[in-house]
Structure 1
Amino acid sequence: MSARKKLLNPTSVAALVGSALLLFLALAGPSIWGPAADTTDVSSRLLGASAAHPFGTDELGRDILARVLTATRLTLLLTLGSTLIALAGGVVFGLVASILPKHPRRLFTGLLDILLAFPWLLMVLFFTVIWGATATGAMLAIGFAGVPSFARLVYNLASSVSGRDYVRAARVVGVGPVGILLRHVLPNIANPFFVNAAATASVTLLSFAGLSFLGLGVQAPAYDWGRMLQEGILRIYINPLAAVGPGIAIVLAGLVFTLVSEAVAGTRGAGFRAVAARAAGAVTLASRRRESVRDSAAPVGDTAAEITDLHIAFRAADGGVVERVRGVDLRIARGEIVGIVGESGSGKSLTAMALAGLLGDDAVVTTASHRFDDIDMAGALTASDRARLGVELGMVFQDPLTSLNPALTIGRQLTEVPEVHVGMRPRAARARAADALTAVGIPDAATRLTQYPHEFSGGMRQRAMIGMALTGAPRLIIADEPTTALDVTVQRQVMGVLHRAQEETGAAIVFISHDIALVSAFCDRVIVMKDGRMVETLDAERIREDAQHPYTKALIACLPDMTSDRTQPLPVIPPELVPEALDDAGPVGVRQPSGASAHDQEVPV
């Protein structure tokens, strides 16, 4: 939907008109109606509604309608002040909580839960006692009482984004916590955050009216709608409009804030592209100041990446530890294409993520050694190490819709590596990004760079992910099931792009898939994984002939071909191939010799 259509829908039009009216009253109201609102006329006191005074007059003969219109400025200023205090405090506390280590984060969120357990009005009254029954005191009281709810909202939104693939990838290439928050978190939580902010402004307006009505807000001689409501309610039976007038203003202003909330929600985030762009620019400048990246060639060796005796475990809810990858040894030679195949839960993706250093803090990773080229991945990474990883390690995730940042354009994401880590100028980086899109078969690259991930098809997003890996100088590309959700035609295109990328860059590729036929056709070497172990390593061209392990044979047997009997059901992996049966399968990654164990029986087909 275009921006014009979004602005022309009834909700947006009503929100714009209402906001313009409130803005006009706040700016011009005191100048136009101020004299009538402040001029006393004892002879005209307590008059009823009339043409001269539509809402009547008060005890000093002042026109009530003029006072309602003039009070718009103070009412809105106090409302927006309280809302901004709640927003600012909520953003700071929520974002800080989202990046804290595990135990401090639990203490922080526990404190938020305690504060949220208190009744909101009780907190407002508590803060009012501290700062006094004044307009400023009421503004601070309502603002600070709203901080916990916004902090919890921001924390929940930030936590939902922090686990995304693009955030983990940003961490491994050296983007710091502040950069991640500004570039990847804030743009993606802006839409729901602003929706709640607009809705909260309506509640804040009513809260201010309530405090002033109780005498705890604005004090004489100043006045807002709540104080006028208090004055008018005393003679509601004599002149109802003296109370109804301020009440109407409160309702209409609250309705405008609600309409603004609805209009913002309907934009689906398109209205916050500027937020994302500014955040992206800020992080790019900060990263340039933080890192000085040398564009020099790394020492050349025979091994692109290597990890030995890899164990990956996760802590369970009962305090125990569940091990998901057990004793994996993986060595990737330069220019080699290695396929990792196995069923869901076999540990393929975890092994690849550990190889790239992308596993989060919730994973307990232990290795005997872990190297990428000459970088020791098991030790503390320096800024230059992370910069090299950002240039030389490419990652193609399974679902590019969640791996690409939805708040940033394709161009902004593809220029990150050339600008931040290679040190290229924005124009040169954009040219390289366009070349990368062209290289992966996306036409009209210059226009496509200005589009967002949701404007790409599934196949185009996957190719854009590959193009992103090509914007640096990749020595290793890890493709984690890049064709799983694609139809066979698009699969062929993606595989062709990966093959061309490997030929042009000479990069090694780790290709992960469920499809053993696809892996055997594309790769030089195939590793079969089952229940967190490497059960067999085979030459891809002779996988059918050389397969010895029963699980590998079962995977092969499940693949139909042109000679398969279509009258018979497809074979399945026999149930006796359970983890316990594989525990004595022999050394990891070594084929069992013929007749060495009972596992080497032929799998019935």
Structure 2
Amino acid sequence: MGAVSRTLRTPLGAAAAILLAIVLLTAILAPILWGEQAAAVDTDDILAGPSPEHPIGTDGLGRDLLLRVLVATRLSVVLALVATLVAVSVGLVLGVAPLLLGRAGKPITWLVGIAVAFPALLLALFFAVIFGTGWLGATLAIGLAGAPSFARLCHTLVAGVASRDFVAAARVGGIGRFRVLFRHILPNIGEPLIVNATIGAGGALLAFAGLSFLGLGIQPPEYDWGRLMMEGLSGIYLNPLAALAPGIAVVIAGLAFNLVGEAAARALGVEATGIVARLASVQPRRAAGASGPAPVDEVLAVRDLTVTFPGVHGPVQPVRGVAFSLRSGEVVGIVGESGSGKSLTALSIAQLVEEPGVVDAGTLRFVGADLLEGDPADHRRLLGTSLAMVFQDPMTSFNPTKRVGAQLAEVSSQHHGLTRRQARDRAVDRLSAVRIAEPDRRARQYPHEFSGGMRQRAMIGMGLMGNPRLVIADEPTTALDVTVQQQVLNLLKSIRDEDDVAILLISHDVSVVAEICDRVLVMYAGRIVEDLPASQLARARHPYTRALLAAVPDMHTDISQPLATVPGRPVDPADVPTGCAFAARCPLADAHCEKVDPELVTTATGDRVACWHADEPLAALATARDVEEVVA
């Protein structure tokens, strides 16, 4: 109702609604009031011109043309709406096919792209020849001709919603594609789809009149506006209104549908569109030989993880050979600039990288299960019950059309066999566990009624609906003020301490990682360049790690000087240079660094570092500002 009221409050919306109401009332009442009179034959008054008795004249059987135009409103509008329904239904099925079928849905996407390239009228004529004349053939022809445009629109809308965090969270929870589609995606594309369908109805009305005008649509004794235009064309020089009046009716009705759609689009902020190379070179590989038995307390083991996407000039690898492990109760942080591969590494572990991306690893083991082998359904169940994902933006982490408690309860209903009531009680309990006051009331509210910090805590609560062994927190404190940020960090600490849960914390903020983590992985250009205890960050050996640390302001930072930054720009994953990827930004780099990429080697202290100059004195790189001066 809010959307309707917003539409009607605008001058355009009010005028369009009045115009559409007149058209619809005419369609309902005209056949009842004047149906018999419009069909009455008067052979004494054939092809008469306009007169007080017949304002726009009569036809070849002496029937009143004005009444026939009014009565024809019902058939014209109803058939246009049915054709639009066909177009939307077929387009929706084709639009969601890539989501439901995965790789098998690609040919459908290609066929839709080809069909969209053809003019809709040409397709309508093609289908009209196939289905034959009459209202049924014309309805199917116009509906199928409009389906490719709706399919492209639906595909775009579905892809946009499917990339949201709450859909990823549902998939991590092991919810199937059909359930994700009906519970999370379709409710969020309803408004733009309805708006564009309303606009499309105006186009379908015009197309239907065109087919009937050509003799491919409505056949006698039935008649619509297109049929009346065709019949009036023969006497247009004697009585122009006989052909113009039904044409004007088409314009008015089409304008009413289009204006309502445009007004709704403006009120809702929806874009109204109207009806108008595979990665074959990348093959999965497994490390030769077994990786050995997993330690008893091992939660996650990753070896030689790569993520590859097709690129214009060949495959692009934003994640290259990442290797690390987590044990129960251990908190490991991954830091690095944007584009370093942090989030993509987490998505790979959670099995959320979709085609055309290819995830490969020598080892990818979660709580003893090999995620690269076995039944994908078993993997989904395992990840749904033992892995919790906390995304960066709490606003996109929840479905805005569903109550928070219902979204949390869905996890237990799906995986733990709880009844609806039990799952809701569990959701309230988990909201209480993450320090949300009045959890019972809050469970009945929508995400927009929560503050940013509350949404983030509720997202953590969703992860705790089961008994997770691993929590992946992807930038959980981004855009939160320092007070709320500290609350979220304390909550993660308490979860680790109380349940011995392993945590993988992804952040660009080194100070956040240093506060909560036991170990820190520093990523650059898709690789881990340093792995060391958080307590030893001050003694970091890699120039990039030291530059990140120097870029963090503290109480001793001179506010009269520009803040320190890491010089240069991050490496483009599609154009990783030969040798060390950080060489162009590093003051210690030499010719050898530019030619040979250093391996990630384990030092005598058990740390790992990938740098040819890691043993040089720290004084060589005191601050990031020093780095910038040296490079300059």
TM-score using structure 1 length? 0.85
CA distance in 1, matches of 2:548, 2:40: 91
**How big is each residue's C-alpha offset from its partner over 1:162-203, in whole Å with a ceiling of 9 and x where there is no partner?**
333333443343333323332333223222222221111101
Relative to 1, partners in 2 of residues 1:322 and 1:580: Cα closer, same or farther, differing over 3 Å?
Answer: farther
Q: How does 1:183-198 map to 2 (within 5 A)?
A: 183-198=183-198
Q: Does 1:304 align with 2:323?
A: no
1:63 is matched with which residue?
64
Deviation, 1:395, is 0.5
User: Could you tell me which amino acid in structure 2 is paired with residue 559 of structure 1?
Assistant: V
Deviation, 1:514, is 1.4
**How big is each residue's C-alpha offset from its partner over 1:476-518, in whole Å with a ceiling of 9 and x where there is no partner?**
1111111122232332232233233334443221111111111
Match 1:498 to one of 468, 492, 513: 492
User: Could you tell me which amino acid in structure 2 is paired with residue 507 of structure 1?
Assistant: V
Relative to 1, partners in 2 of residues 1:570 and 1:228: Cα closer, same or farther, differing over 3 Å?
Answer: closer
CA distance in 1, matches of 2:208, 2:403: 41
SS in 2 for 1:43: helix
**How big is each residue's C-alpha offset from its partner over 1:262-281, in whole Å with a ceiling of 9 and x where there is no partner?**
354256399xxxxxxxxxxx
**How big is each residue's C-alpha offset from its partner over 1:407-430, in whole Å with a ceiling of 9 and x where there is no partner?**
433333222201111222222222
Relative to 1, partners in 2 of residues 1:255 and 1:420: Cα closer, same or farther, differing over 3 Å?
Answer: same
Q: How does 1:77-88 map to 2 (within 5 A)?
A: 77-88=78-89
SS in 2 for 1:552: helix
Q: Does 1:487 align with 2:503?
A: no
1:562 is matched with which residue?
555
Q: Does 1:551 align with 2:550?
A: no
Match 2:530 to one of 536, 548, 561: 536
Q: Does 1:33 align with 2:65?
A: no
CA distance in 2, matches of 1:263, 1:566: 51
Q: How does 1:215-230 map to 2 (within 5 A)?
A: 215-230=215-230
Relative to 1, partners in 2 of residues 1:265 and 1:301: Cα closer, same or farther, differing over 3 Å?
Answer: farther
2:513 is matched with which residue?
519
Deviation, 1:16, is 4.8
Deviation, 1:394, is 0.7
1:317 is matched with which residue?
312
**How big is each residue's C-alpha offset from its partner over 1:460-491, in whole Å with a ceiling of 9 and x where there is no partner?**
33223222212222221111111122232332
Q: Conserved in 2, the CA contact under 8 Å of 1:480 and 1:513?
A: yes
User: Could you tell me which amino acid in structure 1 is paired with residue 597 of structure 2?
Assistant: D
CA distance in 2, matches of 1:84, 1:485: 43
**How big is each residue's C-alpha offset from its partner over 1:225-267, in whole Å with a ceiling of 9 and x where there is no partner?**
1111223344445444433432332222112211331354256
Consecutive unaligned residues of structure 2, counting only runs of 5 or more, are 271-293, 568-584, 624-632
User: Could you tell me which amino acid in structure 2 is paired with residue 556 of structure 1?
Assistant: L
CA distance in 1, matches of 2:56, 2:72: 15
SS in 2 for 1:500: helix
Deviation, 1:346, is 2.6
1:351 is matched with which residue?
345
CA distance in 2, matches of 1:425, 1:84: 37
**How big is each residue's C-alpha offset from its partner over 1:359-389, in whole Å with a ceiling of 9 and x where there is no partner?**
2233332222222213222213454542232
2:626 is matched with which residue?
none
1:584 is matched with which residue?
598
CA distance in 1, matches of 2:520, 2:71: 77
CA distance in 1, matches of 2:154, 2:260: 20
Deviation, 1:585, is 5.5
1:231 is matched with which residue?
231
Relative to 1, partners in 2 of residues 1:390 and 1:111: Cα closer, same or farther, differing over 3 Å?
Answer: same
Q: Conserved in 1, the CA contact under 8 Å of 2:388 and 2:471?
A: yes
Relative to 1, partners in 2 of residues 1:549 and 1:240: Cα closer, same or farther, differing over 3 Å?
Answer: closer
Relative to 1, partners in 2 of residues 1:235 and 1:448: Cα closer, same or farther, differing over 3 Å?
Answer: farther
Q: Conserved in 1, the CA contact under 8 Å of 2:172 and 2:389?
A: no
Relative to 1, partners in 2 of residues 1:300 and 1:128: Cα closer, same or farther, differing over 3 Å?
Answer: same
CA distance in 2, matches of 1:120, 1:4: 30
Deviation, 1:224, is 0.7
1:283 is matched with which residue?
none
4+ residue runs over 6 A deviation: none
User: Could you tell me which amino acid in structure 1 is paired with residue 616 of structure 2?
Assistant: D
Relative to 1, partners in 2 of residues 1:309 and 1:340: Cα closer, same or farther, differing over 3 Å?
Answer: same
User: Could you tell me which amino acid in structure 2 is paired with residue 302 of structure 1?
Assistant: D
Deviation, 1:567, is 4.8
Q: Conserved in 1, the CA contact under 8 Å of 2:331 and 2:502?
A: yes
SS in 2 for 1:87: helix
When the two chains are superposed, the root-mean-square deviation of aligned CA atoms in Å is: 3.2
CA distance in 1, matches of 2:403, 2:446: 4
**How big is each residue's C-alpha offset from its partner over 1:60-80, in whole Å with a ceiling of 9 and x where there is no partner?**
232222212221221122212
**How big is each residue's C-alpha offset from its partner over 1:278-298, in whole Å with a ceiling of 9 and x where there is no partner?**
xxxxxxxxxxxxxxxxxxxxx
CA distance in 1, matches of 2:547, 2:150: 53
CA distance in 1, matches of 2:550, 2:493: 27
CA distance in 1, matches of 2:426, 2:467: 11
Relative to 1, partners in 2 of residues 1:565 and 1:138: Cα closer, same or farther, differing over 3 Å?
Answer: closer
Relative to 1, partners in 2 of residues 1:598 and 1:116: Cα closer, same or farther, differing over 3 Å?
Answer: closer
CA distance in 2, matches of 1:300, 1:66: 86
CA distance in 2, matches of 1:49, 1:450: 65
SS in 2 for 1:561: coil
2:573 is matched with which residue?
none
Q: Conserved in 2, the CA contact under 8 Å of 1:528 and 1:537?
A: yes
Q: Does 1:427 align with 2:421?
A: yes
Q: How does 1:89-238 map to 2 (within 5 A)?
A: 89-102=90-103, 105-238=105-238
SS in 2 for 1:175: coil
Q: Conserved in 2, the CA contact under 8 Å of 1:528 and 1:535?
A: yes
CA distance in 2, matches of 1:135, 1:36: 23
Deviation, 1:530, is 2.8
SS in 1 for 2:68: helix
Q: Conserved in 2, the CA contact under 8 Å of 1:585 and 1:592?
A: no
Q: Percent identity?
A: 49
Q: Conserved in 2, the CA contact under 8 Å of 1:86 and 1:150?
A: yes
**How big is each residue's C-alpha offset from its partner over 1:17-42, in whole Å with a ceiling of 9 and x where there is no partner?**
44544444334432221110111122
1:332 is matched with which residue?
326
Q: Conserved in 2, the CA contact under 8 Å of 1:560 and 1:570?
A: yes
Q: Conserved in 2, the CA contact under 8 Å of 1:550 and 1:599?
A: no
Q: Conserved in 2, the CA contact under 8 Å of 1:87 and 1:147?
A: yes
Match 1:604 to one of 605, 608, 622: 622
Q: Conserved in 2, the CA contact under 8 Å of 1:535 and 1:588?
A: no
TM-score using structure 2 length? 0.82
Consecutive unaligned residues of structure 1, counting only runs of 5 or more, are 271-298
CA distance in 2, matches of 1:162, 1:380: 26
CA distance in 1, matches of 2:194, 2:179: 21
CA distance in 2, matches of 1:249, 1:378: 63
